[in-house]
Amino acid sequence: MKTKLFIMMLISSILFSCAATGVTTIEDMGSSIGVKQPEWMQYITSVSKMDALYPKKVPFTYNETGTDLNYLKRKINSTTLSAEYSRTLTQAVLQSASEESGQDFTEHEQSIQQASASTFSGFKKEGEWWQLKRYPNGDEKYTYYVLYLVDEDNFNRSLSSVIKKSSGTIGEEIAQKLEKNIENVKNIYMNAQQ
């Protein structure tokens, strides 16, 4: 009797926790042809863990949700991606400069973003995936995910270029410190995608 009661309580708690989120995946990119989601999707919220999957590469992931899948694909792959990459790179440089100096460089975000705007080069689209989800209010929306990779050396050169171009804003001394500790800036970039 106690075992049955325990099992019923366990099932109830599982069902309750599933109902609490209320978001149900109805379909995904592979469901109609029997393809499982790619391994990189497991790490979409922890990009820094993708190192094992893609050694000597730096990943850049992005996703967006909306009602029109084709629109999301066009928007992300043509315009949004380079702007989002630039924003993420800018945040990494700003945060690193702030940590290094103890100053707040937020007001200089636009000038640093201009320095990083032209750095979206050498990226190769590694994968894409989409999911159609139903939300508690009955809405159905697509979430479209993309994964781009760049060679680590190319990324480090781009990051170094952004730091050098930003030296007028963040100061020459801080820029030199960031150059010496470029791995820290890279780690901040990786964590900014989570």
* Domain spans in the chain, listed from the N-terminal domain onward: 24-192
We find that the CATH architecture of domain 24-192 is Roll (3.10)
Beta bridge partners of 60: 148
Q: What confidence tens digit (pLDDT) does each residue in 87-106 have?
A: 888 888 888 888 888 888 87
Longest CA span, the chain: 74
- Mean pLDDT, to the nearest integer, of 20-31? 88
Spell out the alpha helix ranges (H) of 22-151: 69-75, 81-101, 109-116
Cα(163)–Cα(132) distance, rounded to whole angstroms?
A: 39
Cα(175)–Cα(2) distance, rounded to whole angstroms?
A: 66
- Comparing 120 with 3, the larger pLDDT belongs to 120
Q: Is the pLDDT of residue 18 over 80?
A: no
- Which pTM does this prediction carry? 0.75
The pair phi, psi for residue 49, each rounded to 5°, is -80, -5
Q: What percentage of residues in the chain have a pLDDT greater than 90?
A: 31
Q: What confidence tens digit (pLDDT) does each residue in 124-155 have?
A: 999 999 999 999 999 999 999 999 998 999 88
